[in-house]
Amino acid sequence: MIDLAFQDEFAVLTLNRPAVLNALGFAQLEILEGRLDEIEASDARCVVITGAGSKAFSAGADVSELAGRSVEQELDGTLHGQRIISRLETLRQPSVALVNGYALGGGCELCLACTFRLATPSAAFGLPEVRLGLVPGYGGTQRLSRLVGSAIALEAMLTGRMIGAEEALKVGLVSRILADDDPLEAAKAFARGFTSMSLTAMRFIRDAVRLGADRPLQDGLAIEAQASTLSYRSADGQEGLRAFLEKRAPRFQDR
């Protein structure tokens, strides 16, 4: 199960299979896609993703589903999983992964696609596929290296070791470590630093960062120039300029 609850300005997604450490099987990916459709169409201003229980955010794929597939099924399954998880990067709303416990394999790849990652002290991140003679398939090789650099990412992936919360904070994998008493409320408090901003402007910024990440600087600057120009032409951009000149708070409409 993947539960969806709307709380204030948040859409809270809970991976709810604690008996199997919130494993992301093929059926769960399909449910996730449907939940993201619901969120996209909602008035939510931020998505918070977490795992049920205290042991795991998600321990990754259901390994029992992976054996005995044809080459075509393996490739199609990988591309399908990549597409669903990548939706988080292009979703209208920013996303926050609240990692409580293990985030391994596909679970780690899910949180890597989020806009931000927050950790409880017990959080542990890892892409241990190499221990099965396999390669991460839902974006791990690409996103982890972009976040923490190729040396740290390669060491983690080639050894299959886990990265604890303190190390994750040190290398920039997470934005902060939250206290255990009420991490969901702490995650919401973190997100309220941006939920009053224009979703349109935030989308332009997120797209500029994502699209320019692996390109030469001049190409990235061209992407930024386009995004900046579009923001000036948006209704929210015009409202923001008027509000500044009129010395009042802007009333964004996400257009």
55-112 pLDDT per residue, tens? 999 999 888 888 889 999 999 999 999 999 999 999 999 999 999 999 999 999 999 9
pTM of this structure: 0.94
The arrangement of strands across the sheet holding 116-119 comes to 2-7, 10-15, 46-51, 95-99, 116-119, 176-177
Residue from 200, 193, 220, 196 nearest 209 by CA: 220
Asked if the model's pLDDT at residue 246 lies above 90, the reply is yes
- Tell me which of 109, 155, 167, 239 is the catalytic residue: 109
Task: Using the CB atoms, write b or e for 224-234: b if 16+ within 10 Å.
Answer: beebeebbeeb
Query: What does the pLDDT read at residue 214?
Result: 86
What does the mean pLDDT of the chain come to? 95
- Tell me which of 38, 40, 65, 129 is the catalytic residue: 129
Query: What does the pLDDT read at residue 65?
Result: 86
- Map out the domains of the chain as residue ranges: 2-191, 199-245
Q: Which CATH superfamily is domain 2-191 in?
A: 2-enoyl-CoA Hydratase; Chain A, domain 1 (3.90.226.10)
The yes-or-no answer on residue 167 being catalytic is no
Question: Could you tell me the two tokens for 130?
Answer: 């190499």
Please classify residue 20 by burial: count the beta carbons closer than 10 Å to its beta carbon, then call 0-12 exposed, 13-18 middle and 19+ buried.
middle
Query: What does the pLDDT read at residue 61?
Result: 84
The yes-or-no answer on residue 109 being catalytic is yes
Please answer whether residues 113 and 187 qualify as being in contact, where contact means their C-beta atoms are separated by less than 8 angstroms: no
Query: What does the pLDDT read at residue 67?
Result: 85
Alpha-carbon distance 230 to 1, whole Å?
39
The single residue listed with the structure tokens 């990067």 is: 89
What are the tens digits of pLDDT across the range 155-210?
Answer: 999 999 999 999 999 999 999 999 878 999 999 999 999 999 999 999 999 999 99
Query: What does the pLDDT read at residue 64?
Result: 83
Averaged pLDDT, 138-155: 96
